[in-house]
Structure 1
C-alpha cells in the first residue's frame, strides 16, 4: 500500500476522495426521525402484532393517549380546546381505570387523556401534539402541560437534532485543538479533521441507502447519528494520532515524503488489524433483536472499516505525500527538513530546485 501511495499519490487521494464524496452525498437523505413501534424489534413479536390489530380496529393513538395536566378549575375549557384540535379523536378525564369513576384530582390539577386519530409514533400524531400544545397553552389560567408517548418522541427528536448541531462541531473543534498541540502544525490537523468529518458523512450516506433498502428500516433512531459520530470520531482520531506521530518522527530524519511511506509501513498493519477487530466487536451487537442496536452495530462497524481501509491507509497518506513539507506549516520542519538532505527527502520533491550540471542548484 505504501508503494502504491508513493507511485501515484495524487491519483490515490483523488480516487479515495471521490468515493467518500459520492457516499457522503446521500447523508442528507438519512431519515433520523425515529423508528416506528412496529419496527423496534427486528423479529416479529406478539406485542407488535397486538398493536397492529388495535390500530386496525380503533383510533391509531388508543393505546398511547396524549396526557394533558391542567388546573382543575379550567378542566371544561381545556377539554373543549383539546377536543377542537384537528387529529384528536376524543378527550376524557383520567379515572384511574374505572370506566365510570370520578376524575382523579391531585394538588388542584386534573389529568385529561387525549386519544389521537393517528398512530402514536407517526409524524401526523406528532403534528397533532404540537397543535394540542398550542391550543391548551392558550387556555387562560390552565397552566397546561402536554405529555405522553407521542410528546416524548417529539421532544426526543427535537433534542437529538439540537444535540447533533451543537455537539458535533464542538467535538470537532476540540479534536482540532488536540491535533494542533500534538503535531505543532496547522495544515496537518485541518487535513485530518476534514478526513474524519468526511468519513463520518460517507458512513451516514451508506446507512441512508442500506437501512431502508437492505435491512428494511423505515426510519433511524434519532440518537444513532450522534452515537455513531462519537464512536467513529474517537476511533478515527486514535488512528490519526498513531499514524501521524510516526510520520512526523520519520519525517524529521528522512523528509516528509519518505516519512509518510515509512510511517504507513510501520503502522498500517496495526491500524487495519485494530479496525477489523473493532468492526467485528460492534457487529456482534447485531445479534440482539433491537433495531437501535442493529443500526449502531452497522454504522460503527462499517465506519471503522471505511476509516481504516480507505481513509487512514490511502487518503491521508496520499494527501500528506502530495503536500510534502507544507503539511507541517508553520513548524520549522516544513522549511528545514532533516540536516544534510533536501527538504522532502530527495529529488522526488517537486518543491526542491532542479539540479543542474556539476551539482549546481537551479
Structure 2
C-alpha cells in the first residue's frame, strides 16, 4: 500500500492538471538549452580511435617500428594502378608525376613515399605484377592521423591523378582496357568504412522513424497515438545527443558513427516499447474509468515500476561494456546506456504528461470508453443501448492454452528453442573488415586486384623486428622458407639501435583472414626458436607489427572481453530480477529462458546467414553485442508480463492471474516486439555486412522472445511451478483468494 500511495503522489506530481504543463515545459527548456549550448554528438565523432591499448603486443611493436624504422612505418594507402592490356610507359609517367608531386608537396601528415619518381622506367617495371597489369604505389601517413584528414588527402590525390590522366581512373571500370586506379590498404579501408557509416546515419534515422510510424498506425490505427512515442523518443534524442557531444568534447568518452547509428535504432526501438507499455495500461484503464485522470494515475501506478525496472536492467547491462578492454566495445557503453536512461525517464514523465493533456483523444478515431459512457452516447443519439459483452481475444486463447496444457507448451517451446540453439556451436567467425564492404567499394576492388595480380598479403604486410645482438642470424632465408610467406624484404637496421633489424613479410594469404591471424603467434614462436637454436641468441626478443598482428590482438582481447562481460551481464540482470521480484525461483527460470532464446537466435541467425545468404562467417564482435542487447531487452518483456501476473496474484487465483496477465500484456508486448525487431531489421538494409548480420540476429532474438518465450514458455513454467514460482518471497493475497486457491 505504501508503494501504491507513493506512486499515486508521483503520478499527480508529473501529470496533474497543472503540473503536466510544468513537466512538458521542463523537457522543452532542457532540450532547447542543451541543443543551443552544447555540441551535438555528431560534431565530436572520432572514427579512427584506437581499439587496442598501447600495451598490446602489436601496439608495442608498431611503436617500436615507428621509432626505429620511420622510413618503413606509418599507415599505408595503396594506390593500385591497373590496366588489363598491360601497364605502359605512358602509365608509368602518371605514376612518376604523382610521386614527384607528393615528394615536393607532401600531404598533411604524410610520413613516407615510395620514390618511384627517382627510378628509371626499367626499374619501375620491375615493380609491376608478373602479368604486367598492376602496379602498387604506397603512400604512408602518420599512425594517429584522423579519418577526416586521410579522406581529404585521398581526395587531393584523386584530383591530381584525374587532371594528369585526362579522365577519372577511379571511376573507370577495371576490365575496360584502360588505365584504372583504386585506393586500398589500411588507409583506403578506414576511409571507406567511415564513409559507409556516416552515410548510413541519416538514411537509418529516416528508415527507423518511418517503420515505427507505419507499424504503430497499422496496429493502433490512430495517427495521434502513433506520434506520441516518436515525440518522446525525439525529446530523448534531443537531450542525449548534446550530452554525449559535451562528454566527447571534454574527452571523457569517445564516440564513433557506428555506435551512434546503433544507438539511434536502440533508442527508437526500446523507447517506443516503454511508451507503449504505459499507453496500453492507459487504454485499459479508460475502459474502466470515466475520468481520464483517474485512468492515467491508475495506469502510471501499475506501469511505472515495470518500465523503470526494465530500463534499469538495460542500462546496467549496457554499462557492463565498460569492463571491455577493446575500444569499440568500451565506446558503446555510455552512449547506449545514457540513451536508454534518458528514454526511460521520458517514458515515465514526458509521455504521461502528454497523455494527461490529450486524454482519450490520443486513441482517435477508436476512442476507448466505459460501458456507461457508451450507453450515454447511444441514448443521446436514440440508438439501442450496448450491452456488456465478453470478447475472447487471441491473448485469452493463449492464456487458456498455457494454463490447460502447461507441460505440452513447455516441452514444445523448449524443444523448438533447443533445436535452433544446437546450431549456435556451428557458427564460424571472421575478423576480416573487407568482407563487410560491398564488392563495388573502392578499397575492396583494389584488394581484389592485388589478390589477383600479386599475393593478397601485399595489402597489409607483416613486420618482424628482432634484436640481432650484432650477429648474422640468417633469419631472412628462414622466413622465406615458411609456406605462409610469399616474400621477405632485406633487413633494415634501426636508426637508434643498429642491433634492431626489421623484416617486411608479404603473406601468401589474405592478411585479414583467421588463418593469417592465427599465424602471428606461430610466427613469433618460430622466429624465437630459430634465433635461439641457429642464430646464436640466448634470449631472443621478437616484435611483430602490422594489420594482421593487430587483428590477432583484436581477437584475443575480444575473446577476453566476451568471457568477462557475458557473466557480468548475467549476474547484474539476475540481481535486478531478484530485487524486483524477490523470488530466486522466478529469477532462475526467467534468466534461463532468455539465455535459451539467445542461443536459438544465434543458431537461427546462422542458418539464415550461412545457408540462405551464403555468409561464410559472421563478424567476431556480433555474439557479444547480440547477447547484451537480447538478454537485456528479453528481460524487459519478461518483467512487463511477470509484473502483471504478480500484481493480479494479489486479488485472484494464480491460474486466473496468468490467464489475464498473458491476455492483457499480449497485445502490447507483441506490438512492442514487432517494432523493436523491425528497427533492428532496418540495419539489414545497409550495405555493411557487420550491421546486416547484427540486425538479422538481434531481430530474430526479439521475435523469439515476443512469440515463443513471453506468451508460451514463461507463463507455462509459472503454471507448473505454482506457488513455488514466488519462493522465497511472500504471496500477498486476500482471504477470498486464499479460499479459491485452496
TM superposition score normalised by structure 1: 0.84
Does the residue aligned with 2:464 lie in a helix, a strand or coil? strand
Instruction: State the Cα distance separating 1:32 from its structure 2 match.
Output: 1.9
Matched, 1:133 2:524: yes
Paired with 2:702 and 2:471, the residues of 1 have a C-alpha distance of: 55
| Correspondence list, 1:327-346, <5 A | 327-333=725-731, 337-342=733-738, 345-346=740-741
2:677/2:703 contact within 8 Å kept: yes
1:43/1:289 contact within 8 Å kept: no
Instruction: State the Cα distance separating 1:337 from its structure 2 match.
Output: 4.9
Of residues 212, 222, 229, the one that matches 2:627 is 229
Instruction: State the Cα distance separating 1:116 from its structure 2 match.
Output: 0.9
Residues 106 and 227 (structure 1), Cα distance of their counterparts in 2 relative to 1, 3 Å cut: farther
Paired with 1:339 and 1:154, the residues of 2 have a C-alpha distance of: 65
Q: Which runs of 5+ in 2 are unaligned?
A: 1-397, 532-536
Instruction: State the Cα distance separating 1:74 from its structure 2 match.
Output: 5.6
Of residues 574, 582, 589, the one that matches 1:184 is 582
Of residues 664, 685, 692, the one that matches 1:287 is 685
What corresponds to 1:114 in structure 2? 505
Does the residue aligned with 1:119 lie in a helix, a strand or coil? coil
Instruction: State the Cα distance separating 1:80 from its structure 2 match.
Output: 5.0
Instruction: State the Cα distance separating 1:76 from its structure 2 match.
Output: 5.3
Residues 312 and 43 (structure 1), Cα distance of their counterparts in 2 relative to 1, 3 Å cut: farther
What corresponds to 2:429 in structure 1? 32
What corresponds to 1:91 in structure 2? 488
Paired with 1:42 and 1:200, the residues of 2 have a C-alpha distance of: 28
What corresponds to 1:99 in structure 2? none
Paired with 2:437 and 2:505, the residues of 1 have a C-alpha distance of: 27
Does the residue aligned with 1:254 lie in a helix, a strand or coil? coil
| Correspondence list, 1:235-314, <5 A | 235-314=633-712
What corresponds to 1:68 in structure 2? 464
1:93/1:104 contact within 8 Å kept: no
Does the residue aligned with 2:658 lie in a helix, a strand or coil? helix
Paired with 1:307 and 1:208, the residues of 2 have a C-alpha distance of: 18
Q: Which digits, 9 at most, give the CA deviation of each residue in 1:92-113, with x for residues without a partner?
A: 258xxxxxxxx47344355431
Q: Which digits, 9 at most, give the CA deviation of each residue in 1:238-268, with x for residues without a partner?
A: 1121211221111122132222222222222
Matched, 1:157 2:548: no
Paired with 1:169 and 1:202, the residues of 2 have a C-alpha distance of: 18
Paired with 2:714 and 2:723, the residues of 1 have a C-alpha distance of: 14
From the CA coordinates, give the structure whose radius of gyration is larger.
2
Of residues 445, 453, 456, the one that matches 1:57 is 453
Instruction: State the Cα distance separating 1:281 from its structure 2 match.
Output: 1.1
Q: Which runs of 5+ in 1 are unaligned?
A: 95-102, 347-351, 353-362
What corresponds to 1:21 in structure 2? 418
Of residues 124, 131, 134, the one that matches 2:515 is 124
Paired with 1:75 and 1:254, the residues of 2 have a C-alpha distance of: 87
Paired with 2:522 and 2:455, the residues of 1 have a C-alpha distance of: 18
TM superposition score normalised by structure 2: 0.43
User: Could you tell which deviates more after superposition, 1-10 or 233-242?
Assistant: 1-10
Paired with 1:254 and 1:145, the residues of 2 have a C-alpha distance of: 70
Q: Which digits, 9 at most, give the CA deviation of each residue in 1:281-338, with x for residues without a partner?
A: 11111222111010111011111111111111111111112211110112232xx754
Residues 107 and 295 (structure 1), Cα distance of their counterparts in 2 relative to 1, 3 Å cut: farther
What corresponds to 2:292 in structure 1? none
Instruction: State the Cα distance separating 1:174 from its structure 2 match.
Output: 1.7
Instruction: State the Cα distance separating 1:273 from its structure 2 match.
Output: 1.4
Instruction: State the Cα distance separating 1:205 from its structure 2 match.
Output: 0.6
Q: Which digits, 9 at most, give the CA deviation of each residue in 1:61-112, with x for residues without a partner?
A: 1221112234475695354554454412222258xxxxxxxx4734435543
Residues 258 and 35 (structure 1), Cα distance of their counterparts in 2 relative to 1, 3 Å cut: farther
Paired with 1:337 and 1:121, the residues of 2 have a C-alpha distance of: 62
Does the residue aligned with 1:229 lie in a helix, a strand or coil? helix
2:427/2:603 contact within 8 Å kept: yes
After superposing on structure 2, the runs of 4+ consecutive aligned residues of structure 1 that deviate more than 6 Å are none
Residues 190 and 320 (structure 1), Cα distance of their counterparts in 2 relative to 1, 3 Å cut: same
Paired with 1:44 and 1:144, the residues of 2 have a C-alpha distance of: 39
Matched, 1:105 2:494: yes
Does the residue aligned with 1:216 lie in a helix, a strand or coil? coil
User: Could you tell which deviates more after superposition, 50-59 or 75-84?
Assistant: 75-84
What corresponds to 2:44 in structure 1? none
User: Could you tell which deviates more after superposition, 179-188 or 128-137?
Assistant: 128-137
Residues 93 and 6 (structure 1), Cα distance of their counterparts in 2 relative to 1, 3 Å cut: same
Does the residue aligned with 1:68 lie in a helix, a strand or coil? strand
What corresponds to 1:358 in structure 2? none
What corresponds to 2:597 in structure 1? 199
User: Could you tell which deviates more after superposition, 50-59 or 199-208?
Assistant: 50-59
Paired with 1:183 and 1:308, the residues of 2 have a C-alpha distance of: 21
Paired with 1:285 and 1:76, the residues of 2 have a C-alpha distance of: 55
Does the residue aligned with 1:136 lie in a helix, a strand or coil? helix
2:662/2:715 contact within 8 Å kept: yes
Paired with 1:319 and 1:60, the residues of 2 have a C-alpha distance of: 54
